[in-house]
Amino acid sequence: MKKVIVFLMMMVMIVATFSGCGKKEEAVEGKYLRIAQEVDLPSMDQHVATDGLSFEVIAATIEGLYSVDKDGTFIPAIAKSYEVSEDQLTYTFTLRDDVKWSNGDAVTAADFVFSWRRLLSPEQASEYNFIGGVAGILNADKVVAGEVPGEELGVVAQDDTTLVVTLDRPVPYFLSLTAFSTFFPLNEKFVTEKGADYASSPENLLANGPYKMATWDKGYGFRLDKNPDYYDATNVTIAGLDYRVMKDNQTATLEYDSGNQDVVKLAAELVDKYKDNEEYTQIESGYLWYITPNNQTEVFSNVNVRKAFQHAINKQQIVDKILNDGSNVANFIIPIGLATGPDGKDFRESAGTYSEYDVALAQEYWTAAKAELGDTIEIEFLFDDDGTVKKTAEFIQAELETNLPGIKVSLKAQPKKNRLDLMTAGDYEVGITRWGPDYADPLTYLELYLTGATLNYPNYENAAYDVLVDDSGKGKLAGDAQGRWDAMIEAERIFLEDDAGITPLFQSGYAFLINPKVTGIESHAVGVPFIYKNVKIAD
């Protein structure tokens, strides 16, 4: 008995020892915006990060050349202004001279040069290094491949406040990329000194933006305090951002209800309960989910089959019954909120809608298709082996078999990696995929379907489409804002209406609960998902 007691007491003592791990919290005076987050913060290193949360927190602490306002317009940040050469190939940025890193160093043009070279260096092997080529920076892809040294990258610091960027082709959306976290500056001295430890904890980070990281308890949460040295600090009115990792959605929502959190993402099953409340907020993300038919197969090379597909599926049901998470039906490929045209309007306001649900129309096309292909048509439907996608696929199967008599749909679930491999190789008939934008321009979608493009899963080929897209990208329309805009609207129409290249399903979104006292959270479908600089919290 005595030994058992000793054993138990030993246990109690161990427990007591570990309990001593509790830490003290020191916060700044004032109100914090409390954000419940489903995932840990993967990285504070902008050249390691690949996810929205990391990009958003990095953007809260570091500013780039340009930033983006709540309407999606690009506004000067560290750059005061810029000039573009006539051939659209040289951008000269003039930087502010009053921006400081949190260690006191000035932010200079050299910080951008260092950062961009680091992003593309083969040693860094950043998962986002493809973006250098997307931005069209001279020699970007060659630097990544190790063919030329970083010094030959098309970015030069002429002096402390002048940054000159040379592109290899006109890139109409180049400015939008300067507002994206990967292109933010880095202090070379600090980053080199910290080495592998850079960005691993608040002590190993520098800020030049509205907030700076104060605590980071891995897996638990992190806190950003207002940065008093920020050049625009007077316009930052809250004490900071307090992130707490809560992987269980129910718990997070209960904490919101108890007044312990200000921002919480809702799970699909809770949406109905809160849908009518004031604090319920839907936020669009840039992801477009769509059915991609392989236009090279016998069945789907038939345009009537593809058109029948476009109209045969009740997407509203998918959005309301299966997802119920703030996603919206998509009858287009360029998502809402992705890009603003020269007229200041969203692309979607100027472009049309296509592929609406219409069973009668679908059956008309289907009858025409059957006249050409025969009475029974069997297809194999490929999709990711994942809960929601699977449900969506099953629903589509049912819709097709009900609305298109004579079709037989067999389902083929694959792990995502395999699914991507099959689609890239063109070794499939039809399936579900998605695409998230890399930059705020319709081209990020339209270029996917150029003849022979790697990610052209539908294997779409149309010379007229190619011309329109090429012209508005690097071609003759690159310098003509309105002309290229019209061309892109027309390209989308050809792709969806004339050729039914794909069947769009929905634009994914998120349902949030946001404390009504909080205003000024700016969300964006592309680039940095949330910007918190202008947040205000009422009493």
Partner 1 sequence: MLRYIGKRLLISIVTMFVILSLLFLLLEFMPGSPFNDEKLNEQQKELLYEKYGLNKPIHERFFIYTTNILKGDFGVSYTIEKNAPVSRMLETRMPISIRLGLQALVFGSLIGVVLASIAAVYKNSKWDTMTTIFAVIGISIPSYVFALGLSYFLGYKLTLAGYPIFPMTYNLYRPIQSSILPTVALSMFVIATVARFMRTELVEVLGSDYIMLAEAKGLTAKKVIFRHSIRNALIPVVTVLGPLTVGLMTGSLVIERIFGIPGIGDLLVTAISVNDFNVVIAISFFYSLFYIIMALFIDVIYGVIDPRIRVDKGGE
Q: By the criterion CB under 8 A, which residues form the site for partner 1?
A: 1, 3-4, 7-8, 11-12, 14-15, 18-19, 21-25, 39-43, 45, 48-50, 122, 125, 127-130, 144-145, 196, 200, 217-221, 244-248, 250-251, 254-255, 257-258, 260, 385, 415-418, 420, 435-436, 438, 454-455
* Minimal distance, residue 435 CB to partner 1, in Å: 8
* Cα torsion 99, 101, 105, 111: sign: negative
* Minimal distance, residue 393 CB to partner 1, in Å: 17
Contact of 135 with 158, CB cutoff 8 Å: no
Nearer to partner 1, 93 or 435 (CB): 435
Nearer to partner 1, 125 or 233 (CB): 125
Residue 43 CA to residue 55 CA, distance in Å, equals 9
Nearer to partner 1, 236 or 245 (CB): 245
- Closest residue by Cα to residue 111 from 135, 81, 79, 137: 79
Q: CB under 8 Å to 425, separation ≥6 — which residues? A: none
* Minimal distance, residue 253 CB to partner 1, in Å: 10
CA geometry: angle at 315 spanning 314 and 318, to 5°?
105
Nearer to partner 1, 444 or 515 (CB): 444
* Minimal distance, residue 4 CB to partner 1, in Å: 6
Nearer to partner 1, 27 or 464 (CB): 27
Please give the distance of CA 530 from its chain centroid, rounded to a whole number: 11
- CA torsion, ordered 197, 198, 201, 203, to nearest 10 deg: 100
Beta-bridge mates of residue 245: 37
Nearer to partner 1, 254 or 373 (CB): 254
Nearer to partner 1, 19 or 234 (CB): 19
Radius of gyration of the CA atoms of the chain, in A:
26
* Minimal distance, residue 454 CB to partner 1, in Å: 7
Please give the distance of CA 460 from its chain centroid, rounded to a whole number: 25
Q: What are phi and psi of 343, to 5 degrees?
A: -85, 5
* Minimal distance, residue 136 CB to partner 1, in Å: 16
- C-alpha distances (whole Å) from 425 to each of 296, 409, 456, 458, 459 are 12, 22, 10, 11, 10
Q: Which two tokens stand for residue 166?
A: 């040379």
* Minimal distance, residue 290 CB to partner 1, in Å: 14
* Minimal distance, residue 453 CB to partner 1, in Å: 11
Nearer to partner 1, 462 or 507 (CB): 507
Q: Which two tokens stand for residue 388?
A: 């929601």
* Minimal distance, residue 91 CB to partner 1, in Å: 24
Q: CB under 8 Å to 16, separation ≥6 — which residues? A: none
* Minimal distance, residue 396 CB to partner 1, in Å: 21
Nearer to partner 1, 46 or 310 (CB): 46
Side-chain half-sphere exposure of 65, counting CA atoms within 13 A: 26
Nearer to partner 1, 434 or 493 (CB): 434
* Chain position carrying tokens 């149309």: 462
- C-alpha distances (whole Å) from 177 to each of 74, 135, 439, 517 are 10, 7, 6, 32
Q: CB under 8 Å to 128, separation ≥6 — which residues? A: 47, 49, 50, 119, 182
* Minimal distance, residue 334 CB to partner 1, in Å: 18
Residue 12 CA to residue 457 CA, distance in Å, equals 61
Q: What are phi and psi of 372, to 5 degrees?
A: -95, -30
Count of Cβ atoms closer than 10 Å to residue 387 Cβ: 9
Nearer to partner 1, 165 or 246 (CB): 246
